[in-house]
Amino acid sequence: MDNAFADLLGLDAINNWVHHRWEEKLVLQKESQFFFISHFMSLINATHFRPSFYLIGFPGLEAIQHWILIPFCLMYLVAILGNCFILFIIKTNTHLHTPMYYLLSLLAFNDLGLSVSTLPTTLVTFWLGTQDIYFGTCQFQMFCIHSFSFMESAVLLVMSFDRFVAICCPLRYSVIVTGQRVTRAGLAIILRGPVALLPIVLLLQAFPYCGCRTLSHSFCLHQDVIRLACADTTFNNLYGLTLVVFTVVLDLVFIALSYALILHAVMGLASREEQLRVFQTCTSHLTAVLVFFVPMVGLSLVPLRKACFTCCLPPHG
CATH of 54-310, one of 3.40.50.1000, 3.30.9.10, 3.40.1010.10, 1.20.1070.10: 1.20.1070.10
- Report pLDDT digits (tens) over 130-143: 678 889 899 999 99
- What average pLDDT does this structure show over 123-135? 80
Global pTM reads: 0.75
Spatial contact of 84 and 113, defined as CB atoms under 8 Å apart: no
- What average pLDDT does this structure show over 42-49? 46
Q: What is the dihedral of CA 63, 69, 72, 78, to 10 degrees?
A: -160
The letter for the amino acid at 111 is: D
Structure confidence at residue 34 as a pLDDT band (50, 70, 90): very low
Residue 166 is predicted with a pLDDT of 87
Residue 266's contacts (CB-CB under 8 Å, 6 or more residues apart) are 167, 275, 278, 279
List the domain boundaries for the chain.
54-310
Residue 135's SS3 state is helix
- Residue 20 reports pLDDT greater than 70: no
Spatial contact of 123 and 73, defined as CB atoms under 8 Å apart: yes
Residue 305's contacts (CB-CB under 8 Å, 6 or more residues apart) are none
